[in-house]
Amino acid sequence: MTWSVERVEEYLEAIYDIQESSNRLVKTTELAKKLDVKPSSVTEMILKLKDSGYVDYQPYRGVMLTKKGYDVAKRIKKYHKIFETFFTEFLGLNEEESHNLSCELEHHVSDEVAEKICMIVSSSDCKICEECDRVYYLLDGADDGEYEVLAAPTIVRNLGIAPNTIIQKVGDTVRVNDMEFELSDELKSKILVKLIRKF
């Protein structure tokens, strides 16, 4: 039987969830219940995961993620949190819809797309991961300083405010090259920037 990447990742994620909450080997019966599948299907998948280096399996005792499996599961969990935060906090979707959409996207998105959505999410008060050291802001909430523009609506591009442009923000004024502008708060709230240095 051929297993999809999505199905493999769902198993790794389920093992991760149980392993993190109980700090012990995960029984195949627990996985069958969590994933709503037959125990024989779990055993078949566990053997495939073991052969691929994602888990250590001890028959009749349980399964545990290897470093390789743990890293994949942690990445999927992070992607889920990124999208769920984006859908609820930035698009205003309800929790159930945000969760369901995140479950679909987490398995199919590239690292590059997840990173870009993470930049947007981390521009607010981000709590997705402990290791986040990003210095991304929406321009309306940024302190005075010099920034690289990461994303901007097309309406401000004719002012020279476009991705990869260096701008300076001083009070309500935005400087681009030798020009100065005062942008509305609404426009500034749509410009994603990365801090270069504070003034």
Q: Give 12-55 pLDDT, tens digit per residue.
A: 999 999 999 998 999 999 999 999 999 999 999 999 999 999 99
Question: Quick one: tokens of 150?
Answer: 């990461």
The DSSP bridge partners found for residue 13 are none
Nearest-angstrom CA–CA distance, 40 and 26: 15
In the chain, beta strands by DSSP E = 55-58, 62-65, 136-138, 145-151, 166-170, 173-176, 179-182, 192-198
How does pLDDT run across 68-85, given as a tens digit for each residue?
999 999 999 989 988 998
Nearest-angstrom CA–CA distance, 55 and 58: 10
Over its C-alpha atoms, the chain yields an Rg (Å, rounded) of 22
Nearest-angstrom CA–CA distance, 182 and 188: 10
Nearest-angstrom CA–CA distance, 58 and 64: 9
Nearest-angstrom CA–CA distance, 114 and 106: 9
Plot region of 70 (φ>0 → left; ψ -120 to 50 → alpha; else → beta)? alpha
Domains and CATH numbers, the chain: 5-65 (1.10.10.10), 78-121 (1.10.60), 136-198 (2.30.30.90)
Q: What angle do CA 9, 15, 20 make, to 5 degrees?
A: 125
Q: How confident is the model at residue 151 (pLDDT cuts 50, 70, 90)?
A: confident
Half-sphere exposure of 49 (CA within 13 A, CB side): 34
Percentage, residues of the chain above pLDDT 90: 50
Question: Quick one: tokens of 197?
Answer: 């240095």
pTM of the predicted model, to two decimals? 0.69
Our CA dihedral for 139, 122, 130, 114, rounded to 10 degrees, sits at -140
